[in-house]
Amino acid sequence: SDLRRQGERGELLQPLIFVSLVLCSVLLYFKVSLMDPGFVKSEEELKASKSEEQSVVIPQVPSDIKMRRCGYCMVKQPMRARHCQLCQHCVRRYDHHCPWIENCVGEKNHPLFIAYLSVQLVVLLWGGHIAWSGLFFEQSWDWLQHNILLLMSFLLIAMLTIVDLLLLISHLYLISCNTTTWEYMSHHRISYLRNSELENPFDQGVVLNLWRFFC
Catalytic residue ranges: 98
How far is residue 126's CA from residue 137's CA, in Å, rounded to a whole number?
20
Alpha-carbon Rg for the chain in angstroms: 23
Find the angle CA(181)-CA(185)-CA(188) to the nearest 5 degrees. Answer: 130
Estimate to the nearest angstrom the gap between the alpha carbon of 146 and the chain centroid.
37
Q: Which of 75, 89, 82 is nearest to 44 (CA)?
A: 75
The residues facing 89 across adjacent strands are: 84
Q: How far is CA 12 from CA 2, 3, 21, 68, 205, in A?
A: 11, 8, 14, 58, 44
